[in-house]
Amino acid sequence: MKSLFRTLTLASALVLSAQAMAGDNPGPRHGHGGPEGPGMMPLHMLLKDRVSEKLALTDTQKAQIKSLLEAHKGERPSRDEMKAKMAEFKALMAAPTFDENKARALLEERVDHELDRMKLGHDVMQVLTQEQRDTLADMREKMMSRHFKKHD
């Protein structure tokens, strides 16, 4: 029974992560669950004029954030790699028997990718002052409340 529960839990996690990767998730798409957190704005939005003005980012901070984002860009999987992973996931789910080892390998890759995104988010947040982080948190909260009002 434990094995069945673990398998179902793993399969559910795979389905949800695959939906997020494929864009089939009808939930909030801000941040995709990465360093910004579920429902948060993507980090590159910090460099948009409107957001950077509200945060009062200095030119030095903007340059540091841009540098961090550029350095991370090379770590992101390509579109073709993402399609290949999606094909692997679909093949796993369509197979007559469940390959737990393959599922674990796919999940481990996903976890590594998310960990890299979290590290990037942390590095970017360290560029901001406490006041700017507080302002950003307020902006995120307002964005989320607007989003959920639309979907109620």
> Would you say 93 and 15 are in contact if contact means Cβ atoms under 8 Å apart?
yes
pLDDT in tens, 75-102: 777 889 889 989 999 999 999 999 999 9
> Would you say 14 and 89 are in contact if contact means Cβ atoms under 8 Å apart?
yes
Q: What's the pLDDT at 44?
A: 83
Residue 16, pLDDT > 60, answer no
31-38 long-range contacts, CB within 8 A, separation 24+:
33/114, 34/114, 34/117, 34/118, 34/121, 35/117, 35/118, 35/119, 35/120, 35/121, 35/122, 35/124, 36/121, 37/121
Query: CA 117 to CA 12: how far, in whole Å?
Result: 22
Q: Detail the DSSP E strand segments found in 7-82.
A: none
Q: What's the pLDDT at 27?
A: 40
pLDDT in tens, 105-140: 989 988 988 898 899 999 999 999 999 999 998 988
> Mean pLDDT across the chain, nearest whole number?
78
